[in-house]
Amino acid sequence: MSNIAEIKVGEQTYQLPLIEGSEGEKAIDIRKLRAVSGLVALDEGFANTGGCSSSITFIDGEKGILHHRGYPIEQVCDHASFLEVCYLLLFDKLPTQQELSEFKSEVSDNVLVPEEIKNFYKAFPRDAHPMALLSSVVCSLSSYYQHEDSNAPDHFRKTAVRLIAKLPTLAAWAYKTSIGEPLVYPDSNLGYTENFLKMMFSVPNKTYQTNTDMAKALDKLFMLHADHEQNCSATTVRVVGSSEANLYASVAAGICALWGPLHGGANQKVLEMLTGIKESGGTIAECLEMAKDKGNSFRLMGFGHRVYKNFDPRARVIKADCEKLLAGSDDPLLKIAKNLCDSALQDQYFIDRKLYPNVDFYSGLIYRAIGIPTDMFTVMFAIGRLPGWISQWKEMMDNPERRIARPRQIYTGATPRDFPPISQRG
List residues with catalytic annotation.
305, 360
Integer Cα distance of 392 and 89 in angstroms: 9
Contacts of 12 (CB under 8 A, 6+ apart): 37
Angle at which helix 130-144 crosses helix 153-179, to 10 degrees, equals 140
Asked if 274 and 336 count as a contact pair (C-beta separation under 8 A), the reply is yes
**The total number of residues written for the chain in this structure:** 426
How many Cβ atoms from other residues are within 10 Å of residue 145's Cβ?
Answer: 16
Contacts of 59 (CB under 8 A, 6+ apart): 65, 66, 67, 228, 229, 307, 308
**Ranges of H-type helices in 225-280:** 232-241, 247-259, 266-280
Integer Cα distance of 253 and 419 in angstroms: 38
* Torsional class of 52: left (φ above 0), alpha (ψ -120 to 50), beta (otherwise): beta
C-alpha torsion sign, points 326, 331, 337, 340: positive
